Amino acid sequence: MEALAVRMSQLGSDVEAAVRVVMFYDTLMRRRVDLPALARASANLAECPAGIRLTGTGRTIRMTPDGREAPGPPAVTTSAPITLDEEEIGTVWLERPTPAGLLDELLLDRLAIAVATAVERYGPARTTMADPALVELVIGADTDEAARARALRLLGFAADLPVRAVAVRTPHPLDRIGTLLCPDRPVKAAQLADAGVVLATTVDASRLPPDVRAGIGAAGIPARSWREARTALRFTTARQPVVHHADLGAVALLAHLPEDAVRADPDVAAIARIAACDPDALDTLDAYCTTGSLRRAAAVLHLHHTSVARRLDQLGKALGLELTEPAGLLRAGLALTAWRLLSG
């Protein structure tokens, strides 16, 4: 309202016309008109083609002043973003063959507000970011099923589709991550205290940037999926930034061991001593445990395999394990994973 008042104060003798524009869109919103009607009315008011595009769905509406769909490609002359829940969800524009009119900016402002209102009214908002309170109801272990079902419905998820939870730590905007994980179906995200949460019916983690850590729970009961996702997130590393809980198998049990018992384990204590003295040595151990091969580890580390063999021999002596033997490699891998879980 403050921005509107400033803009109208700059119009001088055209303030009366500006008030009519504001009242025009207020009337359209009260009548709950749909998007085609908004585009049609705007084109008629502006006396030039007007357009609306929603980013999430790709839907585009263009109308001429006489109420028909505009032919040919759009020739945008003036545009404005559509914002809902502090997220840009699309664009509105005018296609004026003459210089922009004095009221065009105000007209597009009010059109964008009317479009956002209509999008929110006629179905779940096409934004990725969601009310954290609703998301917490969905993933909460103590939420009763009626409240969970209502929260899912308000977020736009169909009752008969299983929802998958993803726990995320990312330097990128969370709404972008949600869109990358699930570009074509409903997806909602919210930032909680310790991690971002993304809810979706399908997940494609291959689209994530390499600097994003993500733990993915199984589809089904959202509360269980979220617990799995948070556990999987704890197992992520720079070398393995995405972890599916289902792929962890029995290794996931490490996350539920008492911390005191883990710290007291001789193998974990040895890993901690090595980390304090030579952190790079653990990268060599990680590469070897991950690949299971001296030559593949050397390729990952960009070293000659003899250099890796020498490092592993030193590590084996420090750990008191024979790393070339399956039993020694298994113990070292478990100890390294347990130590990471402790150190966060």
DSSP H or E run through 189: strand 187-191
Q: What is the pLDDT of residues 61-112, one digit of tens each?
A: 999 999 999 998 888 999 999 988 777 888 999 999 888 777 899 999 999 9
The CATH number that applies at residue 323 is 1.10.10.2840
Shared domain for 112 and 210, answered yes or no, is no
Shared domain for 16 and 103, answered yes or no, is yes
The reply to whether the predicted model has a pTM over 0.75 is no
Shared domain for 106 and 17, answered yes or no, is yes
Q: Which of 72-76, 116-120, 184-188, 291-295 is the most confident on average?
A: 72-76
Q: Does residue 223 sit within a domain?
A: yes
The boundaries of the domain holding residue 86 are 2-121
Per the CB < 8 A criterion, the answer to whether 170 and 179 are in contact is no
Q: Which residues pair with 111 in a beta bridge?
A: none
Per the CB < 8 A criterion, the answer to whether 186 and 156 are in contact is yes
Q: Does residue 126 sit within a domain?
A: no
Helix runs in the chain, H state only: 2-9, 15-30, 35-46, 104-121, 132-139, 145-155, 174-181, 222-234, 245-248, 259-264, 266-277, 279-291, 294-301, 305-319, 326-343
Q: Does residue 70 sit within a domain?
A: yes
Q: Is the pLDDT assigned to residue 125 strictly greater than 70?
A: no
Q: What is the pLDDT of residues 282-310, one digit of tens each?
A: 889 989 888 888 888 888 888 888 888 88
The last residue of one of the domains, among 255, 282, 298, is 255
Q: Does residue 127 sit within a domain?
A: no
Confidence of residue 10 (pLDDT cuts 50, 70, 90): very low
Shared domain for 195 and 271, answered yes or no, is no
The last residue of one of the domains, among 230, 255, 280, is 255
Q: Is the pLDDT assigned to residue 326 strictly greater than 60?
A: yes
Shared domain for 20 and 97, answered yes or no, is yes
Q: Is the pLDDT assigned to residue 162 strictly greater than 60?
A: yes
d(CA 36, CA 62): 8
Q: Is the pLDDT assigned to residue 1 strictly greater than 50?
A: no
Our count of domains for the chain comes to: 3
Q: Which residue has the higher pLDDT, 1 or 152?
A: 152
pLDDT averaged over every residue in the chain:
87
The last residue of one of the domains, among 255, 276, 298, is 255
DSSP annotation of 217: P
Shared domain for 233 and 278, answered yes or no, is no
Q: What is the pLDDT of residues 196-218, one digit of tens each?
A: 999 998 899 999 999 999 999 99
